[in-house]
Chain A
């Protein structure tokens, strides 16, 4: 079945470390997105990518980096510059950025220890 796979499901990071969250899709979608979810808050956009080798900052990009070297993959790196990285991270995709049929992954819960 087509869908989005996020890994790992749970991730623990020591302060000062960079960590990378994986997002893979087999839907042949051009557009991919990373959202952050904090308790009691809606999802906020970190980065999005319209096409391979292209990505744009969302509302809360500081302390994060992404790459889009392959259509299927859109990894997110949480750097040590992100002051409060503990959150739930969701990856999503759509056929194009103007097709609003989004498919979401099951998320990665990142905890700083």
Chain B
């Protein structure tokens, strides 16, 4: 069975600070996808990134960056120069290649960015 752990339940930062959200996963399979989603107060999940297990290249998208390390089973998410609009719950998730079932979600990290 798969497991995703987000040990940080809540994080508060002041605007313009950098913040890293941790995600550690467990799976015996070698082929899988990892995701990050943002859940703003409105409730819907907003897709941020999908990374397959064969691609360990880090990715940067604007103020967002992701660090995928298979050696430590981690897929961490960094927001640079945080803004108040970044305040949300962030979920990390995993699904096996070919799975017809579901995403395995972490418990989420509530990020609050203070002005």
Residues of A within 8 A of B (CB): 33, 35, 40-45, 48, 50, 56, 58-59, 88, 90, 92, 97-98, 100-102, 104-107, 109
Known interface pairs A35-B102, A42-B4; 11 further A-B residue pairs with C-beta atoms within 8 A, sorted by A's residue number:
A42-B108, A43-B45, A90-B43, A92-B45, A98-B99, A101-B50, A102-B45, A104-B45, A106-B42, A106-B44, A107-B43
- B76 CB to closest chain A CB (Å) equals 17
Are A90 and B45 interface neighbours, CB within 8 A?
yes
Q: Mark B36-62, 1 if CB is under 8 A from A, else 0.
A: 010000111111001000000000000
B95 contacts A by Cβ under 8 Å = yes
The listed residue (A35, A41, A92, A97) touching B100 by CB distance below 8 A is A97
Most-contacted residue by chain A among B4, B33, B103 (CB, 10 A): B103
Residues of B within 8 A of A (CB): 4, 9, 33, 35, 37, 42-47, 50, 91, 93, 95, 98-108
Are B102 and A45 interface neighbours, CB within 8 A?
yes
- B47 CB to closest chain A CB (Å) equals 7
How far apart are the CA atoms of A40 and B51 in the complex, in Å? 25
The listed residue (A33, A40, A50, A56) touching B107 by CB distance below 8 A is A40
Are A100 and B50 interface neighbours, CB within 8 A?
yes
Residues of B within 8 A of A58 (CB): 101-102
Residues of B within 8 A of A33 (CB): 102
